[in-house]
Amino acid sequence: MRGALKGEGPWRLGGHRLEVAGCQGSDPWIAAEVARWREWLAANPYPSREQLAVLGRRMGGSS
C-alpha cells in the first residue's frame, strides 16, 4: 500500500481503510480471530509468501 496515512481511526492509506480489530464499534469477532492468529504464530513459523498467496486466493483475493 502506498500513500499518505490520513484520519484518526479508522485510518486511510491510499484507497485502503485501516481499523484496529474490535475497536470502537467494529466487529468484535475480528479481535478473537486476531488472538487465534497470534496464538498460532507463537507455536508455528510465519507462513511463506507462497502460502499466503494461496490462502489469499482461496479467500477471494486476486494477487
| Three cell numbers, residue 25 | 464499534
Give SS3 for 35.
helix
pLDDT per position as a tens digit, 28-60: 788 888 889 999 999 999 999 999 999 999 989
Res. 24: pLDDT tops 70: no
Q: How far apart are CA 61 and CA 4, in angstroms?
A: 24
| Three cell numbers, residue 9 | 481511526
pTM higher than 0.85 for the full model? no
pLDDT per position as a tens digit, 7-20: 887 789 988 888 77
Q: Are 18 and 1 in contact (CB under 8 A)?
A: no
| Three cell numbers, residue 63 | 494477487
Domain ranges, ordered by start, for the chain: 22-63
Residue closest to 4 by CA, chosen among 22, 47, 44, 16:
16
